[in-house]
Amino acid sequence: MAKGITKRSEDYAQWYTDLVLRAELADYAPVRGCMVIRPHGYAIWEKMQAALDRMFKETGHVNAYFPLFIPESFLHREAEHVEGFAPQCAVVTHGGGKKLEEPLYVRPTSETVIWYMYGKWIQSYRDLPILINQWANVVRWEMRTRLFLRTTEFLWQEGHTAHASMEEAEEEALRMLNVYRTFAEEYMALPVIVGQKTELEKFAGAVRTYSIEALTQDKRAIQAGTSHNLGQNFAKAFNVTFLNKNNELEYVYATSWGVSTRLIGALIMAHSDDQGLVLPPRLAPIEVVIVPIYRTEEERQQVLSVAEKLATQLRPSLTLKLDDRDTVTPGFKFNEWELKGVPVRVEIGPRDLEKQQAVLARRDTGEKRPVPLPQVRGRVETTLEAMQQDLYERALAFREANTFPVDTYQEFQEILAEKGGFLLAHWCGDSACELAIQEETKATIRCLPLEASEEAGECVRCGKPSSRRVVFAKAY
Ligand SMILES: [Zn+2]
């Protein structure tokens, strides 16, 4: 166990908090519920941003920036939206020492201000589609917060698109859901279930909400991204119409979609261990660290000279750190880089020099192997690829081992209490029944999986007919 980190088996929640603080990913801010993202945590966010931004651009999107402040009246234009968001908004009532004529909401999300602007920019079908993404911060006054998972202010991206038809909007919402899924699987090494949210769980103001859902090591669900088909709701609220090809006025169709710094919480919960952070190589700010080992000054010079040569060979293709600090021992360095989740460590000492080799240590398995010096670069690269793949396979096997079809309410409650995980159960489609299950068991419907097959059954609680299973879990 790393110093200062509670074991997962003792207290999973405390393990998570200890890890975030000790690995220097984030720290508590002076304002309750806010967090400081420290350089190591921010570097992970930058890797995520870079990959996602590239994927957004490859699917035709462009970036823009809209203001932080939203007039109070805007939020009130869409009835469900104001009901969903107003209670958790921060409101600015004074500016420049004077009371404002109209209070300003600090954005909890930007649909309202963006659709106000789209009203100025859209006249005809020729102005469509608009495919804009924004990287920004948002504020939601949360009562119970946890570093990365739920904070009062967080960083995210929000895509806001405008379309000429419902079909196009639906296609876009599903396209972006799929982008999120690809990102989760290929970069985060995180298997996810893609599905539709129930009426009760959908975004305030959406026609349909889709999400990707992952399973944490303590067998709870974590929503990792959402994509909404907003239909014409925001266009109606902001009176945004366009002349269609038949020269008729029609309201514009919309989508919005987002992921946030919560992804870092999901990433930690998916792969990390009692030694600290375990990062999939594609999101690791430092892929490989070289630790020279020596006692005498003569050894130091010999080892460092080889270590520097090795670093030069590796640097063109890898993000690398040569840890040549004299102030701490090699053992201290090993622990620190394990804590911070560097995927591969290369150790070089005097005995390795005699054999013209280095020792490669892999973070997730702890495996250590000697490698002849000329082969180090190739071996580091294959190890990183293998680790990326193995982390995904391990997480997938874990999810499969913790996904249970259940057919009776008794079985549902027993498995939920004893094992947790994803429960696949029939549900009648009634919100009242969904709410009752939630109150009685604390489990929510995570989604109606898009890839589930039709299967006749009976609602696990009320016995009414159902045509397919949905995914229940306790969630973060
Ligand atoms: Zn029911």
Range of the domain at 355: 286-383
Q: What distance in Å separates the CA atoms of residue 236 and residue 326, rounded to the nearest whole number?
A: 66
Q: Please name every residue paired with 151 in a beta bridge, in sequence order, or none if there are none.
A: none
- Tell me how far the alpha carbon of residue 471 lies from the centroid of ligand 1, in angstroms: 14
- Quick one: average pLDDT of 136-143? 94
Q: Which helix (H) or strand (E) holds 461?
A: none
- Tell me how far the alpha carbon of residue 227 lies from the centroid of ligand 1, in angstroms: 26
- Tell me how far the alpha carbon of residue 456 lies from the centroid of ligand 1, in angstroms: 14
Q: At CA 218, angle to CA 260 and CA 333, rounded to 5? A: 75
Same-domain check for residues 259 and 232: yes
**CA 274 → CA 154, 235, 331, distances in Å?**
27, 50, 17
- Tell me how far the alpha carbon of residue 440 lies from the centroid of ligand 1, in angstroms: 13
Confidence band (pLDDT; 50, 70, 90) for 452? Answer: confident
CA 458, chain centre distance (Å): 34
Same-domain check for residues 36 and 160: yes
Residue 7 is assigned to a structural domain of this protein? no
Q: What pLDDT is stored for residue 77 in this prediction? A: 86
- Tell me how far the alpha carbon of residue 49 lies from the centroid of ligand 1, in angstroms: 41
- Tell me how far the alpha carbon of residue 174 lies from the centroid of ligand 1, in angstroms: 28
- Tell me how far the alpha carbon of residue 444 lies from the centroid of ligand 1, in angstroms: 13
- Quick one: average pLDDT of 301-320? 95
Same-domain check for residues 339 and 438: no
Q: What pLDDT is stored for residue 75 in this prediction? A: 87
Q: What distance in Å separates the CA atoms of residue 211 and residue 446, rounded to the nearest whole number?
A: 8
The answer to whether 376 and 348 have CB atoms below 8 angstroms apart is: no
The answer to whether 209 and 201 have CB atoms below 8 angstroms apart is: yes
Closest CA to 156 of 256, 20, 79, 299: 256
How many domains does the chain divide into? Answer: 3
Q: In this structure, how many other beta carbons lie within 10 angstroms of the beta carbon of residue 369?
A: 12
Same-domain check for residues 341 and 411: no
Residue 239 is assigned to a structural domain of this protein? yes
- Tell me how far the alpha carbon of residue 463 lies from the centroid of ligand 1, in angstroms: 6
Q: What is the mean pLDDT of the chain?
A: 96
Ion ligand 1: protein residues whose beta carbon lies under 5 Å: 428, 433, 459, 461-462
Q: What distance in Å separates the CA atoms of residue 93 and residue 102, rounded to the nearest whole number?
A: 8
- Tell me how far the alpha carbon of residue 407 lies from the centroid of ligand 1, in angstroms: 13
Please name the residues in contact with 337: beta carbons below 8 A apart, sequence gap of 6 or more: 286, 289, 291, 323, 345
- Tell me how far the alpha carbon of residue 115 lies from the centroid of ligand 1, in angstroms: 37
Q: What pLDDT is stored for residue 4 in this prediction? A: 84
Same-domain check for residues 200 and 174: yes
- Tell me how far the alpha carbon of residue 413 lies from the centroid of ligand 1, in angstroms: 15
Same-domain check for residues 193 and 293: no
Q: At CA 34, angle to CA 33 and CA 36, rounded to 5? A: 140
Domain boundary among 238, 271, 304: 271
- Tell me how far the alpha carbon of residue 437 lies from the centroid of ligand 1, in angstroms: 9
- Tell me how far the alpha carbon of residue 448 lies from the centroid of ligand 1, in angstroms: 14
Q: What distance in Å separates the CA atoms of residue 237 and residue 326, rounded to the nearest whole number?
A: 64
- Tell me how far the alpha carbon of residue 460 lies from the centroid of ligand 1, in angstroms: 7
- Tell me how far the alpha carbon of residue 459 lies from the centroid of ligand 1, in angstroms: 5
Same-domain check for residues 313 and 267: no
- Tell me how far the alpha carbon of residue 215 lies from the centroid of ligand 1, in angstroms: 25
* Residue pLDDT, tens place only, 360-390: 999 999 999 999 999 999 999 999 999 999 9
Same-domain check for residues 110 and 253: yes
- Tell me how far the alpha carbon of residue 396 lies from the centroid of ligand 1, in angstroms: 30
Residue 2 is assigned to a structural domain of this protein? no
Domain boundary among 221, 244, 271: 271
pLDDT at 188 over 90: yes
Q: What pLDDT is stored for residue 290 in this prediction? A: 98
pLDDT at 277 over 70: yes
Lowest mean pLDDT, pick from 140-144, 228-232, 418-422: 140-144
- Tell me how far the alpha carbon of residue 475 lies from the centroid of ligand 1, in angstroms: 20
- Quick one: average pLDDT of 74-82? 83
pTM of the model: 0.95
Same-domain check for residues 376 and 434: no
Q: What pLDDT is stored for residue 80 in this prediction? A: 80
Same-domain check for residues 348 and 409: no
Residue 281 is assigned to a structural domain of this protein? no
Same-domain check for residues 162 and 310: no
Residue 389 is assigned to a structural domain of this protein? no
- Measured on CA atoms in the order 438, 443, 449, 453, is the torsion positive or negative? negative
Q: What distance in Å separates the CA atoms of residue 28 and residue 152, rounded to the nearest whole number?
A: 12
Q: Which CATH number fits the domain that encloses residue 200?
A: 3.30.930.10
Q: What pLDDT is stored for residue 78 in this prediction? A: 81
Confidence band (pLDDT; 50, 70, 90) for 79? Answer: confident
Phi, psi of 465 (to 5 degrees): -65, 150
- Quick one: average pLDDT of 69-93? 88
- Tell me how far the alpha carbon of residue 24 lies from the centroid of ligand 1, in angstroms: 46
- Tell me how far the alpha carbon of residue 129 lies from the centroid of ligand 1, in angstroms: 40
Helical ranges in 37-124 per DSSP H: 39-58, 72-75, 79-85, 111-121
Q: What pLDDT is stored for residue 413 in this prediction? A: 97
Confidence band (pLDDT; 50, 70, 90) for 2? Answer: low
Q: Please name every residue paired with 115 in a beta bridge, in sequence order, or none if there are none.
A: none
Residue 278 is assigned to a structural domain of this protein? no
* Residue pLDDT, tens place only, 389-405: 999 999 999 999 999 99
Laid out side by side, the sheet with 288-292 consists of 320-322, 288-292, 344-348, 357-362, 368-372
- Quick one: average pLDDT of 266-278? 97
Residue 277 is assigned to a structural domain of this protein? no
24 DSSP assignment: T
- Tell me how far the alpha carbon of residue 461 lies from the centroid of ligand 1, in angstroms: 5
The answer to whether 333 and 323 have CB atoms below 8 angstroms apart is: yes
The answer to whether 200 and 472 have CB atoms below 8 angstroms apart is: no
* Residue pLDDT, tens place only, 85-127: 888 999 999 999 999 999 999 999 999 999 999 999 999 999 9
Q: In this structure, what token pair is assigned to residue 443?
A: 């489990």
Same-domain check for residues 101 and 235: yes
Q: What distance in Å separates the CA atoms of residue 357 and residue 379, rounded to the nearest whole number?
A: 12
Q: Which CATH number fits the domain that encloses residue 333?
A: 3.40.50.800
Confidence band (pLDDT; 50, 70, 90) for 1? Answer: very low
User: Residue 457 half-sphere exposure, CB side, CA atoms within 13 Å?
Assistant: 20
- Tell me how far the alpha carbon of residue 442 lies from the centroid of ligand 1, in angstroms: 16
Residues shown for the chain: 476
Which amino acid, residue 286? I
Domain boundary among 225, 240, 271: 271
Q: What distance in Å separates the CA atoms of residue 92 and residue 201, rounded to the nearest whole number?
A: 29
pLDDT at 348 over 80: yes
Residue 3 is assigned to a structural domain of this protein? no
Q: Which CATH number fits the domain that encloses residue 419?
A: 3.30.110.30
- Tell me how far the alpha carbon of residue 147 lies from the centroid of ligand 1, in angstroms: 36
- Tell me how far the alpha carbon of residue 411 lies from the centroid of ligand 1, in angstroms: 16
Q: What distance in Å separates the CA atoms of residue 401 and residue 150, rounded to the nearest whole number?
A: 28
pLDDT above 70 covers a percentage of the chain that reads 99
Which amino acid, residue 437? I
Helical ranges in 340-428 per DSSP H: 350-354, 376-401, 409-418
- Tell me how far the alpha carbon of residue 464 lies from the centroid of ligand 1, in angstroms: 6
- Tell me how far the alpha carbon of residue 462 lies from the centroid of ligand 1, in angstroms: 4
Confidence band (pLDDT; 50, 70, 90) for 84? Answer: confident
Task: Report the relative pairing of strands 193-196 and 91-95 from DSSP bridges.
Answer: unpaired
